[in-house]
Amino acid sequence: MNNLRPVGIIGTGKYVPEKILSNRDLEKMVDTSDEWIVSMTGIRERHIAAPNEATSDLAYHAAVNALKSAGMKAEDLELIIVATITPDMFFPSTACLLQDRLGAKKAAAFDLSAACSGFVYGLATATNFVKTGMYNNALVIGVDCLSRITDYTDRNTCVLFGDGAGAAIVGEVPEGRGFQAFDLGAEGAGGAHLYIEAGGSRLPASAETINTNKHYIYMNGREVFKFAVRVMGSATEAVLSKAGIDKKDIDLFVPHQANIRIIKSAMERLELPEEKVVINVDKYANTSAASVPLALVEAQESGRLKEGDKVLMVGFGGGLTWGSSVLIW
């Protein structure tokens, strides 16, 4: 990667809906408790999109903030990648809907589906487009409205998910900065552990699929947890090796925010103190593709992210997929 122009993040933005659904609220909906949810997941609340808000709306607000951060206009954008598993519709893509709303008339646009790894997959894709000179910049957005595919009668899954969007503009950066390495992977054999069964070409929507709740997230929590703990460590070690960076040199670790126990397991494996780790799962729950960028932007806004910092980002999720990257800020 280093024989081409250096590419990194030149602007960021985020957006979460106003409505908050707390654990106490969920106690009134299903047989659960705040104490149990916090102890098992670390989650205290999550943001929920309003009835008139769709994935493209969340993406739009995050994109506007990212453009402002980068000092760019929408018409300057050359590529838009939206990582999501909850598009507004099958087609046109959410990226095309966003391109139109932003007025980014010069930008190519497409969606990318890698679930909770989607933002890192998107960054890797955009980085290679910009490194090779095909485009000079790209807007990458991780966004999901998981509340729209969550069964709020299923206590095992409804406590886990929330809505949000995080955006990054990828472009050329000074020599010695930017993305140093990526590690992307998939374990398709584990796809049956986390999926939505109906709504596609194999099982189109019907009265039966609706009545049997086949349009909601199904998750084998035990198997996904085991996968996450394993791959969080292996994906991290792989990308650090590619980047030639020792784990002790990591300045900031930005993991996918699915479960506090998974994050702490990774912290132990990497021997990282809490002050080097971004944790916001308590506020947002699992927002899928939005998880990593929301955490990254919050770290920047709070002053935890400084120029020259070595940043490690790791995502994992449905597919099953994983993605990790090392970035010098």
Q: Which member of 96, 116, 145, 158 is catalytic?
A: 116
Q: Which member of 47, 61, 193, 256 is catalytic?
A: 256
Q: What is the pTM of this model?
A: 0.96
pLDDT, tens digit (0-9, with 9 covering 90-100), for 73-131: 999 999 999 999 999 999 999 999 999 999 999 999 999 999 999 999 999 999 999 99
pLDDT, tens digit (0-9, with 9 covering 90-100), for 33-76: 999 999 999 999 999 999 999 999 999 999 999 999 999 999 99
Determine whether 145 is an active site residue: no
Q: What is the pLDDT of residue 3?
A: 63
Tokens 């998750």 correspond to 219
Mean pLDDT, residues 318-322 taken together: 97
Determine whether 116 is an active site residue: yes
Determine whether 256 is an active site residue: yes
- The Cα–Cα gap between 42 and 220 comes to 19
Q: Which member of 65, 137, 259, 286 is catalytic?
A: 286
Q: Is the peptide bond before 320 cis (omega within 30 degrees of 0)?
A: yes
Question: Buried b vs exposed e over 227-248: b needs ≥16 C-beta within 10 Å?
Answer: bbbebbbebbebbbebbebeee
pLDDT, tens digit (0-9, with 9 covering 90-100), for 226-239: 999 999 989 999 99
Whether 198 has a pLDDT exceeding 80, the answer reads yes
- The Cα–Cα gap between 180 and 328 comes to 7
Whether 259 has a pLDDT exceeding 90, the answer reads yes
pLDDT, tens digit (0-9, with 9 covering 90-100), for 276-296: 999 999 999 999 999 999 999
